[in-house]
Amino acid sequence: MTTQTTAPQTPQTTDTGKHAGLIGIPAHLGRALATAGGALTIVSTFLAWTWTDEFPGDLTVYGYPGGLQVLVLIGGILTTLLALASYGVRGLGWLTPAGADSALKLAALGTFGTAWYTVIAISSELGGVVNLEPGGYVVAVGTLAAVLGSLALPFTWPDPDPIDPEDTPQEQLRHQLRTTGEILKASIATGTTPPARKLPAYAEILIIVAALAVGLTVFTYGIGTEYDELFVGFLITAGFGFAAVAKAGLVSRVSAVTAKHRNVTMIGAFVAAAAFPFTQSDDQYATIGVYILIFATVALGLNIVVGLAGLLDLGYVAFLGVGAYTAAMVSGSPSSPFDVHLPFWASALLGAAVAMVFGVIIGAPTLRLRGDYLAIVTLGFGEIFRITVLNMDGTSGPDITNGSNGISSIPNLNILGFDFGAEHSIAGFTIARFANYFLLMLLITLVVVVVFRRSSDSRIGRAWVAIREDETAAEAMGINGFRVKLIAFALGAALAGLAGTVQAHVTYTVTPEQYQFAHVVPPNSAFLLAAVVLGGMGTISGPLVGAALLYLIPAKLQFLGDYQLFAFGLALVLLMRFRPEGLIPNRRRQLEFHEEAEPPTVLSKAGA
């Protein structure tokens, strides 16, 4: 008996240039069009886009990009590089280990969005397209050409024959290797990349330094955007740019390098963060920086409870308030009922300890609950804390917290003669009050990161993960679920209380409305939970990035007025739709979200 076999399907790569994409243009013409469009976009940024400097950013200068032109220039360079990489240009393969075609689409769309947003904004604010100079028309045509060219590239490869589960492992492996398209598709879906040529250690460290430098530059630029149009363009460029390099596999490749040198990465990250205040000419943006660090540190503490132990805590911001109120009462404030002025190290330890005690008191009777019931109880605790400090005004209860007036006039910190409220000159740079507190909060963040990392790698950390995955199975294996969860709750509360001690001195005043479940200004419990989920549960860098975005975006979208929350919510919905595992997910969650994903539909014609 003979078995009829068919030749294995080969991937519809675009190397032959014969396959059509979404718009029916041959792939080789689309690639050429995308490359030409990217190059034309770069040229356009050195031309004037409008004749008047009434539009912010002064886009009237020839030969020197400014304002939104800089963002379009970056997008044009990325688009051109990816277009050249899709040709197989030597030296660019390391940047696109998962393929350049899909990444090219995202880069071209992002550049198109920023450019056309600018052109439309100029026409709208200045009174018509007559206010455009030749550069404005050139960038519109160039970015449109790049988008059309990228859409001409095939979207995916044909699905290979399914693997027979009865085959031996060798036969299954041979079947998988019949087509490189399947390997690349799996790489893109799971965030992994094909193996790269091994680099020497010094080269990998240089890659880490370059990645951190890019991160610091992007963060500094995003905070320092001086007008609304520039921030919107920054969001478009940064969002699509990150998506493009992630789709190309570069993010996964760099992540593998950083995971290999974890200590170098952590030290380098904090050195880069410490350099941030020295990049600022005044204290305006350092103010945003210190609040982002407070928000991020508390989110990282919540990540222990939610990300590692899997406990849904909706009242976590109350522990931040416990630490803040404790520090305010013992730091010499004239509004405090206690005539005590402890040094900072003592007030910080006391705030963390009191928050930990509250965590144990609240957790002991409630942690036997699971899921939604636990979430409701913790939400109630957050409201009980806020109402309690509101009623301790001497009328409705004992005079301890001054009720709605809070504890005010909290003095600036003075540690070993270093006054955090005064300006200081370091290496020729002048840093002011908020920059001083930024550096202090950075040290607190370092402590929290070390605690999180050591805890997650320990035996108790593995027990948390086991409880999160299946509490019944974990208890059957001998893990004391209640004790393990209580430790997570207490440790998370202590870290939040530690951050609260710094927040009290930064804000000068602590009041009950700062610690609501959904306050207008973060941190609050809703935003903290969103930062953990958005950034990536169970990771270190995820909540830090998520908290930075969730604090920065609402602060910069105030020009939208009543539509601010709508735009913010829409952005979150879209992000979680296309990146449900978070911006920087851990390996387990990434596989959980993609292991059962349906194969994408082939949009290119199979015989074109």
Instruction: Tell me: pLDDT of 461 over 50.
Output: yes
pLDDT surpasses 90 at 549: no
Answer whether residue 186 is part of any domain.
no
Asked if the structure places residue 261 within a domain, the reply is: no
- Average pLDDT over every residue of 44-64: 90
Residues 248, 340, single domain; the answer is: no
Structure confidence at residue 75 (pLDDT): 94
- Would the pLDDT of 181 be above 50? no
Distance, in Å, from the CA atom of 514 to the CA atom of 524, rounded to the nearest integer, reads 8
Strands 429-431 and 424-426: antiparallel
Q: How confident is the model at residue 258 (pLDDT cuts 50, 70, 90)?
A: confident
pLDDT (average), residues 328-349: 88
| pLDDT tier, 198 (very low <50, low <70, confident <90, very high otherwise) | confident
Give the C-alpha distances (Å, rounded to integers) separating 173 from 3, 99, 189, 583, 597: 21, 22, 19, 31, 21
Provide the pLDDT for residue 604: 36
Same domain, 343 and 444: yes
Residues 104-157 have pLDDT tens digits of: 999 999 999 999 999 999 999 888 888 999 999 999 999 999 999 998 887 544
Q: How confident is the model at residue 590 (pLDDT cuts 50, 70, 90)?
A: low
Q: Could you tell me what percent of the chain has a pLDDT over 90?
A: 23
pLDDT of residue 370: 78
Q: Could you tell me if 355 and 440 lie in one domain?
A: yes
Would residue 601 count as lying in a domain? no
Stretch (H or E) spanning 357: helix 344-366
pLDDT score, position 23: 64
**What pLDDT band is residue 592 in, cutting at 50, 70 and 90?**
low
- Is 525 exposed, middle or buried, given 0-12, 13-18 or 19+ CB atoms closer than 10 A? buried
For residue 223, the one-letter residue type is I
580: exposed, middle or buried (Cβ count in 10 Å: 0-12, 13-18, 19+): middle
| Positions of E strands within 392-536 | 414-415, 418-419, 424-426, 429-431
Q: Look at residue 287 and tell me if it is in a domain.
A: yes
Rounded CA separation 243/235 (Å): 12
Domain count, the chain: 2
Residues 525/315, Cβ–Cβ less than 8 Å: yes
pLDDT at 499: 92
Same domain, 405 and 551: yes
Q: Do 289 and 424 belong together in one domain? A: yes
Q: Tens digit of pLDDT for each residue in 354-373?
A: 999 999 988 888 888 877 88
Rounded to two decimals, the pTM is 0.78
In a domain, 167, yes or no: no
- 587 pLDDT band, cuts 50/70/90, is low
If asked whether residues 351 and 425 sit together in one domain, one would say: yes
Rounded CA separation 245/254 (Å): 11
pLDDT over threshold 90, residue 172 = no
pLDDT at residue 324, as a whole number = 92
pLDDT at 456 over 70: yes
What pLDDT sits at residue 155?
58
Question: Are 516 and 474 found together in one domain?
Answer: yes
Least confident of 303-307, 417-421, 521-525: 521-525
Mean pLDDT across 81-101 = 82
Q: Are residues 506 and 469 in the same domain?
A: yes
pLDDT bucket at 241, cuts 50 / 70 / 90:
very high
pLDDT bucket at 179, cuts 50 / 70 / 90: very low
Give the residue-averaged pLDDT of 345-350.
92
Q: Which of 143-147, 223-227, 302-306, 603-607 has the lowest mean pLDDT?
A: 603-607
Q: What is the pLDDT of residue 13?
A: 41
pLDDT band per the 50, 70, 90 thresholds, residue 568? confident
Could you give the CA distance from residue 525 to residue 515 in angstroms, rounded to a whole number? Answer: 8
Give the domain extent around 75: 27-155+195-212+225-254
Q: Are 4 and 11 in contact (CB under 8 A)?
A: no
pLDDT of residue 347: 92
CATH value at residue 490: 1.10.3470
Q: How confident is the model at residue 350 (pLDDT cuts 50, 70, 90)?
A: very high
Is residue 185 a part of any domain in this protein?
A: no
Q: Residue 465 falls within a domain, yes or no?
A: yes
The pLDDT score that the predictor gives to residue 5 is: 41
Give the pLDDT of residue 137.
94
Q: Reply yes or no on whether the pLDDT at 16 is more than 60.
A: no
Domain shared by 229 and 303, yes or no: no
Residues 318 and 202 in one domain: no
199 and 294 share one domain: no
Q: Are residues 292 and 242 in the same domain?
A: no
- Whether residue 263 is contained in a domain is answered as no
Using the predicted structure, report yes or no on whether residue 159 has a pLDDT greater than 50: no
Mean pLDDT score across all residues of the chain: 81
